[in-house]
Amino acid sequence: MNLGEKNEKYGIDLAADPVFIPEGFEVIEHLRGEFVEWNPQKPRIQLVLTPGQGKGTQDGNKIRAELAGFDGTPINANALDFFLRNVPHSPWMIPEPWKSVENFRSKYILFWGTLYRYEGSICVRSLNWKADAREQQWKSGYCWMDSILNAQYPAAMLRKKPVQVEAPKVEINPALFQRS
């Protein structure tokens, strides 16, 4: 499916099996989610840093453990593959702040909901904006679980849906509205 109009509705199937498995990679964990309606102007996917990353650096294993305490769910790689498949035709699908390049260093957005084994080690796939004199495009990569990661490596997390709260029923005393 190629995407076109900004005001159309699109979906990411986080409940499905992995859409794409890179050659030589083996899926060892895939957290199934839900079917998510995607709207880049009101994204339910947010980028999150753990407190340790915000203060400096942190081991990937510790980051993954800390994400369990966040309000949200780690996104699996189906979202990464949705973006890579559709962004060449519809570059607006990825929110502009995700491109952020600070001090000539790109963000590497990690999709912790799918873990892989590659060359005997555990890793997680990433999405990053590559901008240099030759090209400007979104790329996929991977990061080892035992890597030391800083604020350049946020996690893609699914926000919980807003809770609809019913207004409390209030009994009105009609006598308060009578004229005397």
Looking only at the bridges linking them, the beta strands covering 73-74 and 121-131 are unpaired
Percent of the chain with pLDDT over 90: 46
What is the full DSSP assignment across 54-96? HHS-EEHHHHHHHHTTSSSEE--HHHHHHHHHHTTT-GGGS-G
Residue 168: partners with Cβ closer than 8 Å, 6 or more residues away? none
Structural domain boundaries of the chain? 10-162
pLDDT at 130 over 90: no
Cα separation, 154 vs 50, in Å, equals 8
Query: Where is pLDDT greater, at 106 or 155?
Result: 155
- Amino acid at position 121, single letter: S
pLDDT of residue 40: 82
Q: What is the dihedral of CA 138, 76, 61, 127, to 10 degrees?
A: 0
- Residue identified by tokens 């490596």 is 153
pLDDT at 31 over 80: yes
- What average pLDDT does range 144-160 have in this prediction? 90
Within the chain, where are the H helices? 51-55, 60-67, 77-86
pLDDT band at residue 81 under the 50/70/90 scheme = very high
Over the Cα atoms of the chain, what is R_g?
21
Mean pLDDT, the chain, as a whole number?
A: 83
pLDDT of residue 137: 86
